[in-house]
Amino acid sequence: MNKSKLALLIPLLLTSTSYAQSYSQTDAPDETDVERIVVTGSRIVESIDEVPATITIITRQQIEAQLKVSSELQTMLATLVPGMAPSTGTSSNSSQTLRGRSPLVMIDGVPQSTPLRNGALGIRTIDANSIERIEVIKGATSVYGNGAAGGIINYITKRPNGDSAITGEVSLSSRFSAVEFEDSAGQRIEGMMNGQIDNFSYVASASYEEYGLQKDADGDVIGLKYGLSDAVMQNYFAKLGYQFTDDISMQLVFNHYESEQDSDLMDVVGSVNTGVKTYAIRAPEGTDAPGEPQGPNNQNIMLKYTDEEIFTNTQLVVDAYAQEIENIFFFSYVLANLDEGYTGGQSLIKSDKKGLRATLNSQVEWDNLEATFIYGIDALNDKTSQPLVDGRMWVPEMDMENLAGFLQTKWVFEDDFIIKAGVRRENIDLVVNDYSTLKLCRTPDTCSVPVDVVGDTLEYSATTYNFGIRYNWQAYFQPFANYSQGSDISDIGRLLRTATVNDIADIHTEASIIDNYEVGFTSVLDKFRMEFSAYRSTSELGTTNKYDPATGVYMPVRAPQEIYGYEALAQYTFSNDLDVTATYAWVEGKDTANDVYLGAKQISAPKGTINVNWSPVDEANLSLTYLYVGDRKRFDKVDGEYVGDKGPIDSYHVVNVSGHYNFAQNWDAFIGIENLFNQDYYPAKSQAYTYSGYNVKGLGTSVNLGIKYLF
């Protein structure tokens, strides 16, 4: 472990223990209260029972159970969110779509994704230790603008404990392979303290984790592309609040997250088509692994001003935020150009965002009618590019100015009949200066042709609408239906870097309007709860890839798309100490112009889960999670091989278990086991992605042991 960093971190986490006060689990926020509230759907706090859409809330209790197994948010979301594609088993969330489309990842409502050049690293932008709950709103939405084609994943950060000047916790743990222990042990330390002193409140948390070698069911080290072996993660989070009056408050939030894989390993590359897995070995003595450490690095600062009653029955919230992202990818020999002396290359996505949002919330009541009006403006400047570490420019800087106005309304009749309707007007100017595409050579004889492109200002404007209806008729049948639109210009950078024309105006950079339809219901019968929804979404101009054998480059293909599917959830509470939840999700999609199925980058295999939560005694808890991923075999070989993201997916099963025991006042011991039965499998992405080096196996049986102190 990095001794200097750990030496600095431990005092930060432990110095406050001299002021410690007694703390128990009963002091924690009531999870049942949290489950009844959602904030991201229409940008205000409201009851889930008044939202005509499918929503998944991951509570702090569930986060704690999953953290005992793994700190990876991709795994947590795949396990607990119906409609979320299976985890990739790596640091990347490529192919981990939400209902077949990319979701917009946010922290407290502030976008974390890089939609102008989607590098699929947006899910790992904060450590789970800093999160109070996760809200997932499914289906295209215009409420938050560009990048939310599949819905919203909003990380709601921890809130202060208003009952004490200081409370908190410190946790130490180690995770290792139970298949092949050597060099697999990692270390994690995390801590949090929070409280309120008069009108001032605060939350501060820090996490530091060193990963050991990640090993599959055979004991071999998992391949390095988006790998986690030898990675080091750091997250520092702070939230400061001040209550000026009963109505007026301010809040400042800072979050820094980084994860770097700095390893002396190198890949032994296999492929889906040969059936040989990709795994890692130590680089020969005297050689170094090519490239710089890969991984995400981002920091956010957010300032929020709230006036609960700026005028009669109206709340004002103003958010200002800034974000810097620098995500470094793996070294790739595909980025070679031997004529210029490059044997390969390593790209990074750089994105700087600055935004301002003003939201007004007015409420009016009549005899049997309650009306809510949410309206305001969003302003965003996003500068994104994708250079190579060696100085070459792969995707030129895209300078986006986005100004949008919106109105969302909710009408509640007789407490049971809810209608929601809204409109958003989007205006975007995207400036791209003159640039040249890169000459890239997959082999010495297979190269792309560089093109000089004349830049311009691309202008987009769209008006999108949404409408939903819900009837809470009886507890056993609460139906809903909704229609929502989204305007999406995501991943323009991928279109620019593969340009084959000399004028940016001739590149197919048009926005895609996504129409999303959903029907469903919720039923509660005593201790049994069921949710079901079916959906369909269409886009006028989706984007997929097609391999060009002449240049060795995967070229974008823009064509209409249709995606459809269904989700089901059933939960039974046997007692206060035992409950079981089962889910199943199925999704499919087609390029409707060519009548061909969409690949795994968008469409996931069927997924089912079972979660069991049991507290045999007050001092202990056990959680068991079962994941099933089904077959998806839609594609034939091309010239004897599977291509692109269209490899066949075979089913697999994974069981995880975790538990904790409160062995003394304020002290907890915990254990988590991932892949309990050492299932030997390839994750769905590894099976479907035929690209070189992506076919890595899933993690073999891994054990996490730790201890936590509450104060």
For residue 201, give the CATH number of its domain. Answer: 2.40.170.20
List Cβ<8 Å contacts ≥24 apart for 19-23: 19/165, 19/166, 20/166, 20/711, 21/164, 21/165, 21/166, 21/167, 21/711, 22/665, 22/666, 23/164, 23/167, 23/168, 23/169, 23/666, 23/710, 23/711
DSSP 549-585: TTTTEEEEEEEEEEEEEEEEEEEEEEETTEEEEEEEE
Distance CA 172, CA 188 (A): 6
pLDDT of residue 666: 94
Q: What is the pLDDT of residue 162?
A: 82
pLDDT for residue 262 is more than 90: no
- Characterize 333-346 residue by residue with b for buried, 16 or more Cβ atoms within 10 angstroms of its Cβ, and e for exposed: bebbbeeeebebbb
Nearest of 531, 533, 541, 576 to residue 562 by alpha carbon: 541
How many helices and strands, by DSSP H and E, does the chain display?
6, 37
Model confidence band, residue 14 (pLDDT cutoffs 50, 70, 90): very low
Q: In this structure, what token pair is assigned to residue 340? A: 């210029």
- Give the Å distances, CA to CA, from 139 to 23, 215, 293, 381, 697: 40, 36, 35, 25, 31
Query: d(Cα 135, Cα 507) in Å, to the nearest integer?
Result: 36
Residue 37, pLDDT score: 67
Q: Are 411 and 378 in contact (CB under 8 A)?
A: no
Chain segment 173-202, per-residue pLDDT in tens:
999 999 999 999 999 999 999 999 999 999
Range of the domain at 430: 3-710
Is the pLDDT assigned to residue 16 strictly greater than 60? no
In this structure, which amino acid lies at residue 559? A
**Local structure of residue 216 (DSSP, 8 states):** B
Question: Distance of alpha carbon 104 from its chain centroid, rounded?
Answer: 8
- Say whether pLDDT at 704 is over 60: yes
The number of folded domains in the chain is: 1
Phi, psi of 431 (to 5 degrees): -95, 125
Polymer length of the chain: 711
Q: Give the model's pLDDT for residue 444.
A: 83
320-374 pLDDT, tens digit per residue, is: 999 999 999 999 988 999 999 999 999 999 999 999 999 999 999 998 999 999 9
Contact 666, 23 (CB under 8 A): yes
The model's pLDDT over 206-232, given as tens digits with 9 standing for 90+, comes to 999 999 999 999 999 999 999 999 999
Strand order across the beta sheet in which 55-58 lies: 55-58, 131-138, 151-157, 104-107, 110-111
Q: What is the pLDDT of residues 565-574, one digit of tens each?
A: 999 999 999 9
For 42-95, the pLDDT digits (tens) are 777 888 888 999 999 999 999 999 999 999 999 999 999 999 999 988 888 889
Q: What is the pLDDT of residue 5?
A: 39
Confidence of residue 552 (pLDDT cuts 50, 70, 90): low
